[in-house]
A and B are shown apart, each in its own frame.
Chain A
Amino acid sequence: MDYRERWELKEYQSEQRLGRRAHLLHAAIIVVLAGFLGMFWYLQIVRGADYELLAENNRLRRIAMPPTRGVVFDRHDEVLASTRPALNLVLVREGLQDADGQLRRLESVLGIPYEGLKERLTAMHRRPTFEPLVIKEDVQLAEIAKVEARREWFPSVEVEETALRDYPDGTAIAHAVGYVGEVNESQLARVTDGSIQQGDIVGKSGIERQYDDVLRGRRGWKLVTVNSLGRPFGPSQPGRIPEDGAPLKLTIDKALQRTLVEALADEVGSGIFMDPNTGAVLALASTPGYDPNVFTAPVSRTTWMSLINDPRRPLNDRAISSFYAPGSTFKVLMTVAGLESGAITPSTTVDCGGSVVIYGRPFLCWKKGGHGVVDVHRALVQSCNVFYYLLGKKMGIDTITKYAKMFNIGEITGIDIPGETRGNPPSVEWKQKTRKEPWYPGDTISVSIGQGLLAVTPIQMATMISAVANGGSLVKPHLARDAAVDPVRLPVSAETLAIIHDALMDVVEEGTATKAQLGPIHVAGKTGTAQVFKKSAGIDADKLPKDEKDHAWFVGYAPAEKPEIAFAIVIEHGGHGGTTAAPVAKKVLETFFADRLPQKPSPEEKPSSQLQAHLAAHPEGSGAPPATAR
């Protein structure tokens, strides 16, 4: 027994101390257990009768009370999204008897497949029993009557009041406001404070998702007492009052939004109209759209799959997440860069002969015979490629990158709806990072006319043209009225902007965008065609019908003298911007300026000096910051 010798016998001293402590432990055991015995005595003998009554008569049933989601308003306080009452048919799972029989009878009475219900009921077995199984959402009174008429068949089936999200304008507003749905696993995992629970309705896209915390509110619940047959009786005990979501006011103009969606009609594309002075988005549409109302009740698989698998991707918000080559609309930015960097002056001229040889290869102008001698104004109005090829070559890519960045081209604008993409900025660094290729001089020449590696989102172009319109301040586009941010003054001279502004007016007056003319209201703009060099991410181009046409762009603002509205429109495979995109802008602008337009628009004389008018439109302290002379 040698191993025992390593463990010494007790010694007198420690024996004493240990003995005392052991007695203490014994005392603690007695105190604790006697305390519990006392508690059982109190619960079972002193209060036993009360609790027996509770157990006997009170089958407490907990009913969740979802909060009412906040109403979303447009800029004139018209409702864009609200909540309407609806009725659900539910199966109460507490004290559930003969579940199978009830589910089978439901199939025969209402035609709801037994198998699916059975599966969902089994799947719920881990959830607390006070949560009922929703048999069918948003049921009609006729269906309820069918069940009520055979009450004895359905002891556990009840009607539950609920609320469904309602979008009165449906498809017209889909991409801006978004839609709601039941919270999914990944969203639940991100919330740690218990503010969202299984089964809660949360925003899934657009404004609904961005401002979910504001709109959602907080769920409450109540305790309802039911007798042993499952019938509620007596008053319900308030548990927690649900806190309703707060209302949210948007900058969207419902009428304008509707007009925009109507104007886009069956085309695939998108448009953004905003206040160039503040960045407040007045209308934002992407077509084809979808009806957000289909998501409020649980989406049937077929509906969902048809939306997901539609090759035209209706769920995709093209206005912020699709990117295209900007085409000639980029020449606006090239002009700013050229004049500001000193590469050209207002009097610089180029002789366009229809093509130009750069780096040993010919680059073509769109006009076969050429434009002849053009200065900046003519080059921009006529959209002369040769002028911009040479300008691009002279400036070099780094200067173009600098000004593109300044005007947020190829950058996130920070609009307050989720899903914005960056596109491809025109920069050496970007190409190196994403394509692992060096920048070739020829790349610069393509980028100079808005083709090649460059890709931008419509919201970026709307932001850029707003900066031109408002006298050189970068605005942050936003949809929630409270999300307005002060514009950032850009270091661009008033002279430069005035030259561009004059040219853009002439584009509408006599150039490529005459279809956007609006009588007494002068519109300024620039069309563009984006060569289809690659489709936006996430779609197999082979599955689409081969469409030879390019994407059509039109960006601009009005009234030219004192802009109140700026826009960017893209029609996918729309061909030339002047033919397809400009009329869309015109329709929306007609709605916007309805009170200022005569019934029949008549052509009017051009003001003598647009430059003066433009400068007059931006005096110190009105809207845009004063222009700084260089």
Chain B
Amino acid sequence: MLRRRLLDRLDLPTLFAALALASVGLMAIASATAEQPGRSGLWKTQLVWLAIASVSALVVMAIDYHIWAEFAFALHGVGIALLVAVLAFGKTVGGNKSWLDIGHIAFQPSEFVKWTTCLATAAFLAKRVTTRVRFVQAVQLVGIVGLPMMLIAKQPDMGTALTFVPIFVGALLMGGLQWRWVLGAAVVVGLFAPVGWSHLKPYQRERILLVVNPDLDPSGVGYQVRQSKIAVGSGRVTGKGLFKGTQNRLNFLPAQHTDFVLAVIAEELGFIGAAGVLALLYYLLYRGLVAARSSQDRLGTYLSLLVVCWFLGQSAINIGMVVGMMPTIGVPLPFVSYGGTALIAVMCGIALVANVRGHRFVN
């Protein structure tokens, strides 16, 4: 009896789609690191991470999302405390102080905080009596999302900080911010863009300008984008075959197992592979929308929609970078890129969606 209830509640299609994406990622990571000394076993590490992530996802699913929401702010507080801890005694990798060393495992709190941010924001929105976002609420939302974002920007991990923007925008729109405010905010942002531009570091400006004009490359950032586009384009329809991508194997591609993993897939599996990844992503996001629609209360709806916003935003930033439509920012592709904490975070995110879906029957 209990087992049947559980099976009913497990949102299997969604979970399978997530695992399918992760499997594609495992293959791509194996291919990307095959030629790299000392990294050729990374796909096994990622497999272990996937197992850990799956168990974490089951834990998230096993507990009714209402209970998670009860503890949302406590969890979010823990996450923010961890971010402060990272700034205080984190480990610096590649110029970013983003990792905490726990024994032998490097843990990236910023990934975990994405998850708690969705939870806390959804809980906050659901608790309200109003159906519109009032000014005070908007300010509170800025606090919930902006505080961790600021701490992450200090690491300075601009890429991860940027992934909080879609969550914030999603919270405002789903929370029912009236359109006139949305328009007003857009106008204000438009007006202040030049000011923000002047605050950017030269290399950041360069990256943005490169999207507009890839030939303009004073410091070589364009080299990466260019190599990524060559990798993608040369894959053509069917790709060069797994483990046969020249761009990938000859190390022309930068960060080919993390940020540019989709370029490896596009090179070795071609347009079919790339379209497949996009299709799986679409299916996952669609399942999120379905869960939102079938949920019986605001909390479930908000929770699902926010996870969808998070995934959509992060995927768009990553894919945009791979095809040269976005500036080069280090953001992993959900489920696909190498990275333990990131994988756990997105698996727990999709687990929340499955959780909402599984509890759609009020009893």
Contacts and interface: CB of A to CB of B under 8 A. Distances in A.
Interface residues of A, number: 57
Contacts of A14: 131, 176, 298
Interface centre among A13, A14, A95, A130 (most CB of B within 10 A): A14
Given A40-B266, A40-B274, A194-B203, A52 B174 contact: no
Interface stretch (A42-50, A69-77, A376-384, A524-532): A42-50
Interface stretch (A19-27, A112-120, A293-301, A490-498): A19-27
Contacts of B231: 55
Contacts of B316: 32, 36
B178 to A, nearest CB: 10
Q: Chain B binding site: helix, strand, loop or mixed by DSSP?
A: helix
Contacts of A17: 131, 176
A9 B296 contact: yes
Nearest to B359: A4
A37 interface: yes
Given A17-B176, A25-B305, A33-B282, A43 B232 contact: yes
A29 interface: yes
A7 B176 CA distance: 18
Contacts of B295: 10
B271 interface: yes
A83 interface: no
Contacts of B232: 40, 43-44, 51
Nearest to B325: A39
B170 A55 contact: no
B28 to A, nearest CB: 15
Given A48-B234, A48-B236, A55-B231, A95 B250 contact: yes
A8 interface: yes
A110 interface: no
Q: Chain A binding site: helix, strand, loop or mixed by DSSP?
A: helix
Given A39-B325, A44-B274, A129 B251 contact: yes
A3 B66 contact: yes
Contacts of A33: 278, 281-282
A22 B305 contact: yes
Contacts of B217: 239-240
A36 B226 CA distance: 17
A4 to B, nearest CB: 5
B198 interface: no
Nearest to B131: A14
Contacts of A40: 232, 266, 271, 274-275, 278, 323
B230 interface: yes
Interface stretch (B10-18, B146-154, B183-191, B286-294): B286-294
B155 interface: no
B338 to A, nearest CB: 16
A36 B266 CA distance: 12
A93 B301 CA distance: 53
A592 interface: no
Interface string B207-238: 00000000001111001001101111111110
Nearest to B234: A55
B297 A8 contact: yes
A28 interface: yes
A137 B348 CA distance: 54
B299 interface: yes
A7 B297 contact: yes
Contact of B312 (A28, A54, A240): A28
Given A56-B234, A193-B202, A194-B202, 7 more contacts: A9-B362, A10-B298, A48-B233, A60-B226, A129-B252, A194-B219, A239-B217
Interface of A: 1, 3-4, 6-11, 13-14, 17-19, 21-22, 24-26, 28-30, 32-33, 36-37, 39-41, 43-45, 47-52, 54-56, 58-60, 62, 94-95, 125, 128-130, 192-194, 221, 239-240
The 7 tightest CB contacts between A and B, nearest first, are: A51-B233, A55-B234, A48-B236, A14-B131, A44-B271, A43-B233, A52-B234
